[in-house]
Chains A and B, each alone.
Chain A
């Protein structure tokens, strides 16, 4: 264990507690301590931007309990850092903040697995990637030309989430058991979602979008825990599909709309904001009730979005391989959200309390035995899906008791950026990215290679280092590592 050290970053005092924990002691207007999970190397990256200050800013919000937390993939966001977790108690004046959820409400990942042999997958990878690219719109403003929902249908999606998609033939009932919250958050209020948001969502359900969103075909390259891997049906060599997307323009508009509502509410309730993007309202206020209803509705849109894409990917495989997807046992392993705020019960100072847990760029990671974990996984813990950058690897973990005790049952969500988009693009000048990925054995398809340039592996931290910190700090447990074979970027 490294010796605890103290230092000042941008005038904030930080103290190293052990090899993987850094305390930001309560100072200034902070109501609670901040805690960042990182080893020394990751901490150097984290110190490079404003993430630490943002973790401290969140600690200033009313009604925050426990600690303001930064995961090992934490980096500079707006308002909350990306990779931030914070829980608020309504009985202590706690708040909800759209900036603590983000613009891409319920941005998340889902992982599918199938019985296709690795040899056949590798041989058919170009065809599979071409078909996925034809069948699932990706890229800036991606939308369907012939699949545009009516406003009434969008409202049904907002209410029913993934179930809406399954009821229309996109997937199976069994899928719903493998999605966080069953693929639909209760309490969604489509009537609190603006006409603009619905308008933006109409052509976009079932689309990838752009930025860091992707569809990735891969396989299990290494198993760390054979028994748990077997339970997740992720044995060595199993072919997998990762889908990363969120609530698209609909969610962005909900966040935009409610930031303004919350700015006014914060003024009215006398809440002092260290950053306006932390605009918030007391959880007991009408504004909070409206936002939570609208945010849950947008989250349901995201669940339906990923459900439709997953089904289209299954159909794409079936088309290329000439076999129905059911014959391939093309099943959903799990689907988790990265950006949301949910009501959960956690123990604080020895007492169970109903809290609103904000996770912005963080994953729920409930331990074995938790009632919110579906039956088939309850004894192993909730699957935690951690995509890496597009060239190296991704990981599947399970939640732990440690996470439940320390981080409100949360873990990291990905590698975390370490390089700005501008720097990333500058660093690829003169390089043939397509060839570089081919040399790594990865088929890349992209609506725009400019996005690929921004998303090069070196723009991200090494997700293996991030996940190792999570594993060693006990807030998640590694199960398998996935290797990419083909990536579709927006």
Chain B
């Protein structure tokens, strides 16, 4: 990124038309948190600032596999931002397995709009894997 360091564990991928990232973390919870922060960073090109949203939002999502679950998690956060102006700030997980997430998400009302919008979180090149105790994900967004 120009003049800004990406959050820890997040690397931007070069893609001709779209934008992608790889994310690494020691736990699945942190992978989901870092993926959320990384996605927002790629949209704002910096850490999002603003005033805290008054209430947390409960999220309950299911999927057939952990990679699909990550896509749904990110999509849900994009939707909350676009429609409700609620920007992810952090999450407390009640449950996070390969197929289910139950979380309380805290958010921000961002001071500035993002630099770019993501039309969608794609399945293209999607990977989530655990190797030597570390989680690693690759996600590509449609711009």
Binding site for B on A (CB under 8 A): 48-49, 51, 75-79, 82, 99, 102-104, 139-141, 196, 199-200, 209-211, 249, 252-253, 255-256, 259, 263, 275-277, 279, 417-423, 425-426, 429, 448, 450-451, 454
CB of B115 within 8 A of CB of A421, answer no
Q: A420: which of B1, B16, B115 is its contact (CB, 8 Å)?
A: B16
A-B interface pairs (CB < 8 A), number: 100
CB of A140 within 8 A of CB of B124, answer no
Interface mask (B93-110 → A, CB under 8 Å = 1, otherwise 0):
000000000000000000
CA distance A48 to B2 in the complex (A): 23
CB of B124 within 8 A of CB of A78, answer yes
Q: List 10 A-B contacts (CB under 8 A).
A: A48-B16, A75-B16, A75-B17, A78-B124, A140-B113, A196-B83, A211-B119, A253-B79, A420-B16, A421-B19
CB of A429 within 8 A of CB of B2, answer yes
Asked whether B45 is an interface residue with its Cβ less than 8 Å from the other chain, the reply is yes
Find chain A residues with CB under 8 A from B14 CB: 420, 422-423
CA distance A353 to B142 in the complex (A): 33
CB of B120 within 8 A of CB of A448, answer no
Asked whether B143 is an interface residue with its Cβ less than 8 Å from the other chain, the reply is yes
CB of A78 within 8 A of CB of B117, answer no
Shortest Cβ distance from residue B121 to the other chain A in the assembled complex, whole angstroms: 8
Find chain B residues with CB under 8 A from A209 CB: 117
Q: A425: which of B2, B82, B113 is its contact (CB, 8 Å)?
A: B2
Find chain A residues with CB under 8 A from B120 CB: 103, 252, 255-256
Interface mask (B49-85 → A, CB under 8 Å = 1, otherwise 0):
0000000000000000000100000010001001100
From A418, which residue of chain B is reached at the shortest CB distance? B16
Given contacts A140-B113, A256-B75, A448-B113, 6 further A-B contacts (CB under 8 A): A78-B142, A82-B17, A196-B83, A417-B17, A420-B16, A451-B115
CA distance A49 to B79 in the complex (A): 30
Asked whether B140 is an interface residue with its Cβ less than 8 Å from the other chain, the reply is yes
Find chain B residues with CB under 8 A from A275 CB: 123-124
Asked whether B5 is an interface residue with its Cβ less than 8 Å from the other chain, the reply is no
Question: Contacts A196-B79, A275-B124, A277-B123 hold; do A210 and B116 have CB atoms under 8 A apart?
Answer: yes
Find chain B residues with CB under 8 A from A423 CB: 14
Find chain A residues with CB under 8 A from B124 CB: 77-79, 99, 275-277
CA distance A82 to B12 in the complex (A): 21
Asked whether B122 is an interface residue with its Cβ less than 8 Å from the other chain, the reply is yes
Question: Contacts A210-B116, A275-B124, A276-B124 hold; do A78 and B16 have CB atoms under 8 A apart?
Answer: no
CB of A276 within 8 A of CB of B126, answer yes
Find chain B residues with CB under 8 A from A140 CB: 113-117
From B3, which residue of chain A is reached at the shortest CB distance? A429
Find chain B residues with CB under 8 A from A417 CB: 16-17
From A54, which residue of chain B is reached at the shortest CB distance? B124
Interface mask (B12-37 → A, CB under 8 Å = 1, otherwise 0):
10111111000000000000000000
